[in-house]
């Protein structure tokens, strides 16, 4: 840079995805939670392609009297419909950090990025969390193996579109990390708390507390074999974990907020067959409490699921440096609160150049 002190590193990837849906196609490379129900005789044998998952970023570093000031800007083209030649520029990360403090948009401490399996599918296993929020975060190291992260996160905390109002306060998220001394194992504990609020008028409002806890781990059994797993229990949130429903159902007659409550679990195993060939098998699922007012309120809502899961297996080939070529098969099923089911079956092909 012109100041002679700021270092800039360009990175990213050029990526092309192709999916072929044998059953339950939603016309997208992304596996949303609302693929068609079997009773609707959904279309089958559908091809979709995309290059919108291509990513570009900048890492910036500048020395100061308080330590290195760092920054990151990263974006892709999945801000809207990224299928079949379409794509909208989207900010993924945009933050700065100095010492123990960070401000800007990046991955939430509540989600399980570090303990999720490697998949080709852009959305990943059901229950995977990749949510990136605007936050102010503080990191406190305990020792060489342990640290605690605490963040205040704002912006669409509840992610509910059919009710006026919105939380008055930022969400509070936390994460505790423990790494084994040999770096083979990682344990993480996650926490979340935020307000759910509906305020159709200034003189009337309803608030209920949303919260979540999670635990995740990763362990390298051998240099060639590793496992990951995580589990969450969440009430009154639909933002942080993929494939979850909205945080609550609002009854306009009684003006009550009825919170959704669910458990999620993800498990994965990776095998490195050789220095250039690796595979992952993963299963993920979410299950909601179905004996609640929330469930009864959504009996006719076909986009809300009582439970949803998927299973994925892939093979990724690294023929030359920075090139990944892969194939993955996914099978999934969802069931609505009314008991209607939808199945999908898919092959996903990947070509990616990392730089």
Give backbone dihedrals phi and psi of 185, rounded to 5 degrees, phi first: -125, 150
Across the chain, mean pLDDT equals: 92
- In this predicted model, what pLDDT tens digit does every residue of 213-253 receive, in sequence order? 999 999 999 999 999 999 999 999 999 999 999 998 888 77
Q: Report yes or no on 2 lying in a domain.
A: no
- In this predicted model, what pLDDT tens digit does every residue of 136-192 receive, in sequence order? 999 999 999 999 999 999 866 665 655 666 788 899 999 999 999 999 999 999 999
Q: Report yes or no on 118 lying in a domain.
A: yes
Spatial distance between the Cα atoms of 178 and 134, rounded to a whole number of angstroms: 25
Whose CA is closest to 293, among 241, 337, 239?
337
What percent of the chain is predicted at pLDDT more than 90? 74
pTM: 0.92
At 24, the pLDDT band (50, 70, 90 cuts) reads confident
Measured from the Cβ of residue 140, the count of other Cβ atoms closer than 10 Å reads 10
- Please give the distance of CA 297 from its chain centroid, rounded to a whole number: 26
- In this predicted model, what pLDDT tens digit does every residue of 98-147 receive, in sequence order? 999 999 999 999 999 999 999 999 889 999 998 999 999 999 999 999 99
Question: Is residue 77 over pLDDT 80?
Answer: yes
Spatial distance between the Cα atoms of 19 and 329, rounded to a whole number of angstroms: 10
Is residue 257 helix, strand or coil?
strand
Question: Is residue 80 over pLDDT 80?
Answer: no
List of residues 6+ apart from 7 with CB closer than 8 A = 1, 60, 61, 62
Measured from the Cβ of residue 274, the count of other Cβ atoms closer than 10 Å reads 9
Spatial distance between the Cα atoms of 168 and 156, rounded to a whole number of angstroms: 10
Q: Report yes or no on 315 lying in a domain.
A: yes
Domain region containing 128:
7-354
Q: Report yes or no on 135 lying in a domain.
A: yes
Strand pairing partners for 53?
A: none
pLDDT attached to residue 25:
82
Q: Report yes or no on 11 lying in a domain.
A: yes
Spatial distance between the Cα atoms of 276 and 55, rounded to a whole number of angstroms: 23
pLDDT attached to residue 159:
59
Q: Report yes or no on 189 lying in a domain.
A: yes
Question: In the chain, how many domains are there?
Answer: 1
Spatial distance between the Cα atoms of 131 and 123, rounded to a whole number of angstroms: 11
Report which DSSP code applies to 82.
-
Question: Is residue 16 over pLDDT 80?
Answer: yes
Q: Report yes or no on 210 lying in a domain.
A: yes
In this structure, what CATH number is given to the domain that contains residue 187? 2.40.160.10
Largest CA distance in the chain: 65
- In this predicted model, what pLDDT tens digit does every residue of 332-353 receive, in sequence order? 999 999 999 999 999 999 999 9
Question: Is residue 196 over pLDDT 80?
Answer: yes
Q: Report yes or no on 1 lying in a domain.
A: no
pLDDT attached to residue 164:
64
pLDDT attached to residue 182:
96
pLDDT attached to residue 256:
85
pLDDT attached to residue 29:
81
Our separate counts of H helices and E strands in the chain read: 1, 19
Spatial distance between the Cα atoms of 75 and 56, rounded to a whole number of angstroms: 6
At 323, the pLDDT band (50, 70, 90 cuts) reads very high
């Amino acid at each position: 840079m012109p100041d002679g002190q700021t270092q800039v590193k360009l990175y990213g990837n050029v990526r092309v995805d192709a999916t072929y849906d044998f059953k339950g196609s939603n016309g997208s490379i992304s596996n949303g939670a609302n693929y068609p129900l079997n009773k609707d005789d959904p279309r089958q044998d559908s091809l979709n392609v995309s290059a919108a998952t291509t990513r570009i970023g900048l890492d910036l570093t500048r020395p100061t009297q308080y330590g290195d000031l760092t920054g990151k800007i990263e974006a892709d083209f999945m801000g809207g419909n990224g299928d079949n030649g379409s794509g909208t520029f989207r900010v993924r990360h945009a933050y700065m950090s100095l010492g123990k403090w960070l401000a800007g948009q990046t991955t939430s401490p509540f989600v399980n990025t570090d303990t999720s399996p490697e998949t080709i599918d852009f959305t990943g296993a059901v229950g995977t969390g990749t949510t990136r929020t605007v936050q102010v975060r503080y990191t406190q190291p305990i020792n060489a193996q342990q640290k605690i992260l605490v963040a205040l996160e704002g912006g669409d905390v509840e992610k509910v579109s059919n009710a006026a109002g919105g939380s008055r306060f930022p969400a509070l998220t936390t994460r505790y990390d423990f790494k084994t001394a040999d770096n083979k194992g990682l344990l993480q504990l996650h926490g979340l708390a935020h307000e759910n609020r509906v305020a159709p008028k200034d003189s009337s409002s309803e608030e209920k507390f949303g919260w979540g806890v999670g635990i995740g781990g990763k362990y390298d059994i051998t240099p060639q074999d590793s496992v990951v797993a995580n589990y969450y229990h969440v009430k009154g949130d639909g933002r942080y974990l993929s494939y979850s429903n909205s945080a609550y159902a609002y009854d306009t007659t009684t003006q009550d907020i009825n919170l959704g409550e669910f458990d999620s679990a993800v498990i994965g195993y990776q095998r490195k067959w050789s220095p250039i060939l690796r595979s992952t098998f993963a299963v993920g699922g979410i299950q909601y409490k179905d004996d609640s007012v929330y469930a009864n309120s959504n009996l006719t809502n076909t986009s809300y699921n009582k439970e949803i899961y998927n299973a994925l297996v892939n093979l990724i080939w690294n023929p030359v440096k920075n090139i990944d070529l892969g194939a993955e098969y996914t099978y999934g099923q969802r069931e609505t609160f009314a008991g209607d089911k939808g199945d999908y079956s898919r092959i996903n092909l990947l070509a990616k150049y990392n730089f």
